[in-house]
Structure 1
Amino acid sequence: MSVYKKDPTESRWEGKSERALDTTPAYARLTISGPQTPVLEGEDVTLECLSDGDSDMANYTFEKYSTWMRTWVRLDSSRYVRCWYFSVNISRNDERLLMHISDISEWQNGPYRCVKTDNQTGQDEASDALRIDVIYLQNIYLQKLHSWYPSVSDILWVEEGSTVEVKCAASSSQEPYYSWSQEFSDWILPSDTLVLKNVNEGSEGKYICQARHPNMYSLVKTSYFQLRVMKKSPEQVRAFASGLSFGDILLYIGIPGVMLTVLVFTLFSILIRYRKQQMRKPQISLVDDEKRAPIYKGSLQSVCSTASDTQPLVM
């Protein structure tokens, strides 16, 4: 499309076409000093805002896009979000605008940009966004499958002949590689789920789950549990009770006991309330020598009479 020289008499649509083809680069350009690849959680990262047109960076600042707020947040402000959520240090030294992120965390990844605010026009000029990807692996969990109480303690007691299924999961920037192993054994199971069928005394031991980041092999997290198999004998029952943690005691004994107490108390309260209602009902006493006259149509109560009833009951 050809663009003609703008004339005041021309329509405003031609002026918009001219501005649409304007390829003047933005004044601010955001660069990162250091690796241009994803950074490891815990590292220090520095961003610098550069301007091709200005040497004074007083009107420039950094912004980060907040996913949950769905907007860009200015990082040189002393607002609550700035202090407690983003936790960055912005400085202006020797006509350089720098932002330092110390001990970067996984929630600090995302797009950043440099913005210039024009106090005269009130319009902002922004650079292209730069995304920082943080590599992390943390918080490994073990949980029992097909169980109403999925938590796995350090010692897991199971009945002989039963099946044990334990799943391993970790919080990671990418899906990690999982593997199971047993202490003092050479077998390795490349899976996130450990399945042991028909367990016996030979199945006892320490089982270890390992989670490894796919792109950063130095990131490894492990978790384990001790498997104990019990038989239905007094000795095994005592061993099982001695190996219970506080959480297990609370789960197996405390909570059922509280629920049973509440149930008994509720039934007792209902019984007492029922007896009190029965006691409030009026008691009708009949004297042996007193006879009641029949109830006639329209009568609200019986009438005492010493004479015999000679009229039929009207329904």
Structure 2
Amino acid sequence: MEYLACFSLISVICTLAGNGVSAGLYISGPRSAMLEGEAVVLECLSDMETDMQNYTFQKYSTWMKSWFQLDTSRYLRCWFFNANISRSGGRLLLELSDISEWQGGPYRCVGTANDTNEVSENITIPIIYLQDIYFQKVHSWYTSVSDILYAEEGSTVEVKCAATSSRDPLYEWSQEVSDWILPSDTLTIRNVDQSSEGKYMCQARHPDMYSLVKTRSFELRVTPKDPDMYMITGSSVDLNVGDILLYIALPGALLTTLLITFLVIILRHRRQQLKKPQISLIDAEKRTPIYKGSLQSVSSTTSDTQPLVM
């Protein structure tokens, strides 16, 4: 039995050494899930009697694919403004106030002395978070949804509710002054009419923390159907301010810009042509070249006793 215990201890030590982890250096912190925005404290511990001056904390960056020290990487402090490392009473602490989901780790303790390569095991803080809700229209070129959504009478309104979360949220739709509830992330209203108007609210709830809830709403307003537009398109249309900007205003602005640019180019070219010197045909007839290939000439009425050089 003693041989088995010794063998197990040696195996653990070899495993830690093979992974670059020192058996006498540890990092402590919360093992249970923390809510985003809470304060978290990590501590670096050592079996040896030390004031922890030669140790520090590191965090792994998935972007840089490497570890960096929180107390020496000054150019990264803007991302870790809420991190505070303190050494007092022989303790080395890392305090993270208002922790966010991307600051969950992993973290580790390392020795900073030149003659040591002590490294602790890694710790990752599980963080529960649920961020704000955003809406988007389904089957539409312009997916954004403002606080007021206009829809033509007889059309179909389809809005999807989404929120970024540590786990997939639970969604449900409800309508103001109504008792109906739709347990889905997508609200679909077909053949809308005046009775469909009102405020619709989406609620997203975290499955692990039922009290963590985010809500957002929009107001649906129904406009009368335009018979002329229906005859042209053959179907009802749903145009709001965003659709008008996307389909009408933006192409018109681009076309106007292209026309103005084309006119400016033509005018500049015309002005350059007018600035070129004009040669009179009469003056050209009176001047004959001195010799072949010469660029200079004299008047044909001028007598010259010197022979031409060919």
State the TM-score, normalizing by the size of structure 2.
0.71
Among residues 143, 147, 153, which one is paired with 1:160 in the alignment? 153
CA contact (8 A) 2:31 2:126 kept: no
Shift of 1:198: 0.8
Task: Find out whether 1:30 has 2:30 as its counterpart.
Answer: no
Shift of 1:263: 4.7
Partner of 1:59: 54
Give aligned pairs, total.
248
Partner of 1:47: 42
CA contact (8 A) 2:142 2:243 kept: no
Partner of 1:107: 102
| TM-aligned CA distance change 1:253 to 1:116, over 3 Å | same
Task: Find out whether 1:229 has 2:222 as its counterpart.
Answer: yes
The residue identity in structure 2 corresponding to 1:45 is V
Question: 1:116-144 CA deviation, whole Å, 9 max, x = no partner?
Answer: 1332x3x4211111111211111210010
Q: Identity rate of aligned residues, in percent?
A: 60
Q: How does 1:136-285 map to 2 (within 5 A)?
A: 136-232=129-225, 250-251=245-246, 254-265=249-260
Shift of 1:262: 2.7
The residue identity in structure 2 corresponding to 1:150 is T
| TM-aligned CA distance change 1:274 to 1:68, over 3 Å | closer
Task: Find out whether 1:80 has 2:75 as its counterpart.
Answer: yes
The residue identity in structure 1 corresponding to 2:198 is G
Q: Which has the higher contact order (CA 8 A, sep 6+)?
A: 2
Separation in 2, partners of 1:77, 1:109: 20
Task: Find out whether 1:96 has 2:91 as its counterpart.
Answer: yes
State the SS of the aligned residue for 1:132: coil
CA contact (8 A) 2:154 2:225 kept: no
Question: 1:83-111 CA deviation, whole Å, 9 max, x = no partner?
Answer: 11223100111001111111111121121
The residue identity in structure 1 corresponding to 2:121 is D
CA contact (8 A) 2:51 2:89 kept: no
The residue identity in structure 2 corresponding to 1:84 is C
| TM-aligned CA distance change 1:58 to 1:202, over 3 Å | same
Question: 1:5-63 CA deviation, whole Å, 9 max, x = no partner?
Answer: xxxxxxxxxxxx9x95897962211112xx53111111111111110123221111111
The residue identity in structure 2 corresponding to 1:44 is A
Out of 148-157 and 260-269, give the one that drifted further. 260-269
Separation in 1, partners of 2:16, 2:124: 26
Separation in 2, partners of 1:174, 1:229: 36
Q: What's the C-alpha RMSD, in Å, of the aligned pairs?
A: 3.2
Question: 1:204-231 CA deviation, whole Å, 9 max, x = no partner?
Answer: 1101011111111121111111111111
The residue identity in structure 1 corresponding to 2:61 is S
Structure 1: give runs of 5+ residues left out of the alignment: 1-16, 235-243, 280-315
State the SS of the aligned residue for 2:31: coil
Separation in 2, partners of 1:71, 1:130: 16
Q: How does 1:272-311 map to 2 (within 5 A)?
A: none
Shift of 1:259: 2.5
Separation in 1, partners of 2:35, 2:99: 8
Separation in 1, partners of 2:259, 2:93: 68
Separation in 1, partners of 2:92, 2:270: 82
CA contact (8 A) 2:204 2:214 kept: yes
State the SS of the aligned residue for 1:222: strand
| TM-aligned CA distance change 1:263 to 1:75, over 3 Å | closer
| TM-aligned CA distance change 1:273 to 1:44, over 3 Å | closer
Partner of 1:11: none
Separation in 1, partners of 2:212, 2:73: 35
Question: 1:275-307 CA deviation, whole Å, 9 max, x = no partner?
Answer: 99xx9xxxxxxxxxxxxxxxxxxxxxxxxxxxx
| TM-aligned CA distance change 1:200 to 1:60, over 3 Å | same
The residue identity in structure 1 corresponding to 2:92 is L
Task: Find out whether 1:117 has 2:112 as its counterpart.
Answer: yes
